[in-house]
Structure 1
Amino acid sequence: MPQSLTIPPVHSDALWTIERGVSPIVATAIHDGHAVRKELEGLYALSSDERLREEDPFTEFISRDVPNRIVFHRSRFEVDINRGRDGAIYYAPEQAWGLTVWKDGLSSDDAKTSLQTHDDYYEVLLAFLKGIERWHGRFVVLDIHSYNHRRGGPAAAPTEQAKAPHINIGTSSLDRARWSHVLDVLTDHFQSFEIDGCRLDVRENIAFQGKGEQTRFIHEHFPLTGCAIAVEFKKFFMDEWTGKPDLDVLKKLRGIVASTVPLLEQALGSEQ
């Protein structure tokens, strides 16, 4: 694997990047983005670093070896693709971890432009997954995210392990009767790894329950053929206050995710 975390350059105005392979396994990194429209830059009450702390940097890197991928390049502080349209813009602090996002609010025209991105993304996602469905009959989407565990500050104690597993599997909208065999394969595989001598703590619906809009949307539109699983990595692969990554840990996580692909393909095929 390359030593660099960089990706091939994308146009500064790019909304997302899509890679299509010959596999029924898809990964998305829809909170990886940090870019915002130029006309919004002066409207934020938050600094770039403050926004970055609540984004999911390096989730693109973790997902890089999955054959089909969607990476969203805009910040969730412009439009949160993983929330329903009505909540996709953070107007109030209670929508954004208590943070005041805008200096003086957001105009209706600016909001309309951001929400158009939300509409367009889901239109593209639907078409993309219909193509995967045509080729393979069924598919698995790994909806990859990360989460903070040092909210008290850089010197404060982290969230206790009981409430913050290394990997949180979110399954709120998942049809367990239909997809438990896929979920079990994924969870068991993740649990089989150690990083720095520590067995990965992988649990379901602890820190998060997988209630994001994307998994809900997939299960609504592909109730019999689409298995979408939210995979939340605790930010033990980086310093969430400085943004500095631990490249060795990230490379291991990337390899672990890549190694799930043949197992998930086999699990899908075993039920056809």
Structure 2
Amino acid sequence: MQKLTIEEIIKKIEAEELFRAVASDYSFTIKIDDYVPYACAAVHNGHQFRRELWPKCLHTEYERWYEEDPETVNMVKHHPIVISGMDSRFEYDLNRDPDNAIYEDAWGKQLWKEPLTTEEKSKSLEKHRNFYKVVHALIKTLEAKFGCCIVYDMHSYNWKRWDREVPTWNLGTSNVDNTRFKNSIEDWRQELSEIKLPNGIASTAKINDTFQGNGYFLKFITENFDQTLVLATEVAKIYCDEEGQIIYPEVVSAIRKGLRTCLPEHASNFYNIYSN
């Protein structure tokens, strides 16, 4: 893996070079092992939290971890194109627009002991801005090369906080063209429901049950690219003890194995339908 500037990453994408890189400020990673008409993203996978912000933060390391999406990049790491955040959403949230990317409070609790300075905010927002420069360059290249593209926007959620039965998988589709992409959305839901999980865990899948797909990552791509479908795909945190901060590697592995098979097949079907 190389350490590259934003300009160097974009230049490689535009030249359709194969590479694996971390941004020079270590804010995100990107790998392109092959140019294919689909990409995977894990924007909330990151846990890094800038050292200078530690004294100001009221949330503990565990409270931050609890609301992040750990292991989501590991679930899709074998796919050819993967982009993943490394910084915690508590520094800046890649799934919110720039004006709302830096929290003042989070899940009902004030985040900062004192307001962040303009300089502190600017550092975080520059990383947010750079990430989306790369996303734009990537999708632009894929659409130009293939005529269409599909992006699997991977997230996880804390199922124990719900007071009702919730699905293992949730697809948020309220901000994509459901009329045009109805069949691809339903096919993806069906594929997810058939992933085999260990320890007696059911693999149920629903659409717009717990989340509706209102994230900025999905909206940014959808608003800028007419031929790209973003599937906001949430998995319940059945792969960890969300209260004890323990990861279950065998469940992560099973999810990764299932996605390694069904995801490329789904992407191929999407391409065959919408590339013409």
Question: Given the two structures, how large is their TM-score scaled by the length of structure 1?
Answer: 0.87
Residues 34-183 of structure 1: pairs in structure 2 closer than 5 A: 34-91=47-104, 93=105, 96-151=106-161, 159-161=163-165, 164-183=166-185
Structure 2 residue 263 is the aligned partner of structure 1 residue 250: no
Structure 1: distance between partners of 2:220 and 2:24:
28
2:5: which partner in 1? none
1:155: which partner in 2? none
Aligned partners of 2:150 and 2:270 also within 8 Å: no
Structure 1: distance between partners of 2:203 and 2:74:
19
What's the Cα RMSD here?
Answer: 1.9
Task: Identify the structure with the greater strand proportion.
Answer: 2
1:9 Cα shift? Answer: 11
Aligned partners of 1:167 and 1:202 also within 8 Å: yes
Aligned partners of 1:182 and 1:268 also within 8 Å: no
Cα pair distance change 1:198/1:52, threshold 3 Å: closer
Structure 1: distance between partners of 2:25 and 2:270:
38
Cα pair distance change 1:128/1:195, threshold 3 Å: same
Secondary structure of the 2:256 match is: helix
Structure 1: distance between partners of 2:192 and 2:73:
18
Structure 2 residue 30 is the aligned partner of structure 1 residue 18: yes
Structure 1: distance between partners of 2:140 and 2:225:
9
Per-residue CA distance 1:75-104 (angstroms, 9 max, x = gap): 00000010111110111x3xx111221111
Secondary structure of the 1:194 match is: coil
Residues 257-268 of structure 1: pairs in structure 2 closer than 5 A: 257-259=259-261, 260-268=263-271
Letter in structure 2 aligned against 1:42: P
Structure 2: distance between partners of 1:82 and 1:46:
20
Question: Given the two structures, how large is their TM-score scaled by the length of structure 2?
Answer: 0.86
Aligned partners of 2:168 and 2:202 also within 8 Å: no
Highest RCO, 1 vs 2 (Cα 8 Å, sep ≥ 6): 1
User: What runs of 5+ residues in structure 2 fail to find an aligned partner?
Assistant: 1-19
Structure 1 residue ranges, 4+ long, deviating more than 3 angstroms after superposition: 8-13, 196-199
Secondary structure of the 1:111 match is: helix
Per-residue CA distance 1:23-78 (angstroms, 9 max, x = gap): 11111000000112221122111111111111110001111122111011000000
Aligned partners of 1:192 and 1:199 also within 8 Å: no
1:184 Cα shift? Answer: 2.0
Aligned partners of 1:185 and 1:267 also within 8 Å: no
Per-residue CA distance 1:115-148 (angstroms, 9 max, x = gap): 1111111111101111111221111101000011
